[in-house]
Amino acid sequence: MDTTNKTYSPADSWTEVILIYNSALKQIGTKLEILNDEFQHVHSYNPIEHIKSRIKSSESIVKKLKKYGYESTIENMVEYVNDIAGIRVICSFTSDIYKIASMIRNQNDLKILTIKDYIKNPKPSGYKSYHMLVAVPIYLSDRIVHAKVEIQIRTVAMDFWATLEHKINYKFEGNVPQSIKDELVESSHLISDLDAKMLSLNEQIQDSN
Ligand code: 0O2
């Protein structure tokens, strides 16, 4: 979000910032629904299974700023915390992920800030997902501001893995025993095999039609 030439009073600015991030989430959510409906109309098929969105809690924002070594100010949060507004897009097949990413890239009013492909390059934990950080223009009554939204696109299977791994990390407060870490990495390979199998099955079904 562009915060230049703006003096904040703490209470007002927090509510204003959250209002802007919420508007950004609404915009991205609507764009994705339109793309999904259009895809259904043209190809008789929905690439998106479901969409989840959230605003990061103030506690998590403060924790992230602390981790990066920044003071907890509104300016720092807007500047350095990229996932205050987050939207998760869950698809059936890996190929859907790249279709959706390409449709998002074609939206001229969105600025793509970064792309992280953790499907081609999984994290050492085994985490897989496709991340896009985009800037969305928000038209307020007296000005236009740009808000960052992190879009995470993943399959149902990748989401299952990430949700469980997140819960395990939370339970062990980050100190997950190595044996469990190893099993998580192993299960992430199983998830990839399953995704590949389901994609291949789907392609066979499509070819036989
Ligand atoms: P939460 O609770 O989901 O909000 P950045 O966000 O860019 O400053 P980073 O780590 O470079 O920092 O970003 P990255 O790699 O794009 O990851 C950001 C988000 O991806 C995380 O947000 C998680 O949602 C998800 N993620 C990344 N790595 C993992 C992983 O190993 N396991 C799981 N389950 N999720 C992961 P937060 O803020 O960490 O958490």
First and final CA of the chain: distance in angstroms?
48
pLDDT at residue 43, as a whole number: 82
Classify 134 as helix, strand or coil: strand
Better-predicted residue by pLDDT, 48 or 9? 48
DSSP class of residue 47?
A: S
Reply yes or no on whether the pLDDT at 8 is more than 90.
no
CB of 165 closer than 6 angstroms to any ligand 1 atom: yes
Q: How many CA atoms lie within 13 A of 124 on its CB side?
A: 2
Query: What's the whole-model pTM score?
Result: 0.92
Query: From the CB of residue 10, how many other CB atoms can be counted at a distance below 10 Å?
Result: 9
The residue among 174, 99, 116, 135 whose CA lies nearest residue 20 is 135
Which residue lies with its CA nearest to atom 36 of ligand 1?
A: 127
- For a pocket test of ligand 1, which of 127, 167, 185 has the largest count of ligand atoms closer than 8 A to its C-beta? 127
| Percent residues over pLDDT 90 in the chain | 84
Q: Confirm or reject: Cβ of 160 under 6 Å from ligand 1.
A: no
Mean pLDDT, rounded, of the chain: 92
pLDDT band at 45 (very low <50, low <70, confident <90, very high): confident
Summarised one tens digit per residue, pLDDT across range 148-207 is 999 999 999 999 999 999 999 999 988 999 999 999 999 999 999 999 999 999 989 888
Q: How far apart are alpha carbons 82 and 136 in whole angstroms?
A: 13
What residue owns the CA closest to ligand 1's atom 27? 127
pLDDT at 10 over 60: no
Contacts within 8 Å (CB) and 24+ apart, 91-94: 91/47, 91/48, 91/49, 91/153, 91/154, 91/155, 91/156, 92/47, 92/49, 92/155, 92/156, 92/198, 92/202, 93/155, 93/195, 93/198, 93/199, 93/202, 94/119, 94/155, 94/195, 94/196, 94/199
| 52-59 average pLDDT score | 96
CB 153 within 8 A of CB 162: no
pLDDT in tens, 83-111: 999 999 999 999 999 999 999 999 999 99
Task: Return all residues near 33 (Cβ < 8 A) that are at least 6 apart.
Answer: 51
Domain residue spans in the chain?
Answer: 14-157
Residue owning the nearest CA to atom 9 of ligand 1 = 82
Each residue of 30-44: pLDDT tens digit?
A: 999 999 999 899 888
- pLDDT at position 11, please? 54
pLDDT at 208: 82
Length of the chain counted residue by residue: 209
Helix (H) or strand (E) holding 146: strand 144-155
For residue 4, what pLDDT band results from cuts at 50, 70 and 90? very low
Residue 72 has pLDDT above 70, yes or no: yes
Amino acid residing at 136: V
Which CATH architecture does the domain made up of 14-157 adopt?
2-Layer Sandwich (3.30)
Mutation probe of ligand 1 site: the residue of 67, 83, 167 with most atoms within 8 A of C-beta: 83
